[in-house]
Amino acid sequence: MDGTLVDTEPYWIAAETPLVESYGGSWTHEMALSLVGLALEDSARILQEEGVRMSTGDIIEHLTSEVMRSISRDGVPFRPGARELLADLKDAGLKTALVTMSMRRMASHIAELIDFDAFDLVVAGDDVTRPKPYPDPYLQACTSLGVEPADTVAIEDSPNGLRSAVAAGSVVLGVPAMVSLEGAGAHAVWPTLHGVTASDLSELHRAHRKIGAA
């Protein structure tokens, strides 16, 4: 979700920086980028290592509330082409799932702010025992939707997300936002979702299913 469909990573960084500084630490842009794609529990532990004297749960709740406040104030910051692609997938009658390591209250908040019913299912970080890069989030989504992983296309912007979807057996499209996806195993990497349609994803799926079956 973050970095793939919506550009909330700057909101997370804006929430992390004053939190670390309030405990006398410093938080650089490079340090913030190291958290992209991590489970929130892992991110919280890193913040604790940087001096934040709060429990893991309290850090997650604090950051989530700050980011939700920014989204409520500024609106959903869609990545280029993301809203249009979601609408096209809906028009095509294709099932869609939001698979994110953000907390459910955050994922649901964003989904509810979209001006149409964008997702058939939301799988959030607090819905799974093992987060990305484990395959569990995508496997849970496929089971709930009643589809085989090999019949799906996953879109990801982080190495951990790509590894999760690849391990689950999806055809995986990487669309980089803030970090490089080199070597993470995507079947294809496109620079943007701008202009991408449901038909484009179907073509991508057919091409890589054929390669996998060869």
* SS3 assignment, position 71: helix
pLDDT digits 0-9 by tens, 163-198: 999 999 999 999 998 888 988 899 999 999 999 999
Question: Is the residue at 3 inside a domain?
Answer: no
Which among 74, 90, 106 is the end of a domain? 74
Does pLDDT of 209 surpass 90? no
Q: pTM of the full predicted structure?
A: 0.85
**Are residues 51 and 109 both part of a single domain?**
no
Same domain, 34 and 110: no
Distance CA 93, CA 202 (A): 13
* DSSP secondary structure code for residue 79 in this structure: P
CATH of the domain at 87: 3.40.50.1000
Rounded mean pLDDT, 195-204: 98
Q: In terms of domains, do 104 and 191 share one? A: yes
Quote the mean pLDDT of the chain. Answer: 93
How many domains are contained in the chain? 2
Q: What is the pLDDT of residues 56-90, one digit of tens each?
A: 999 999 999 999 999 989 888 899 999 999 999 99
> Tens of pLDDT along 83-102?
999 999 999 999 999 999 88
Q: CATH code at 36?
A: 1.10.150.240
**β-strands 97-99, 121-123 pairing:** parallel
Q: Which of 56, 74, 92 is the last residue of a domain?
A: 74
DSSP E strand stretches across 93-144: 97-99, 121-123
Q: Report the alpha-carbon distance of residue 41 to residue 28 in Å, rounded.
A: 20
State which residues form the domain around 150: 82-213
Tell me: do 19 and 67 sit in the same domain: yes
According to DSSP, residue 51 is labeled T
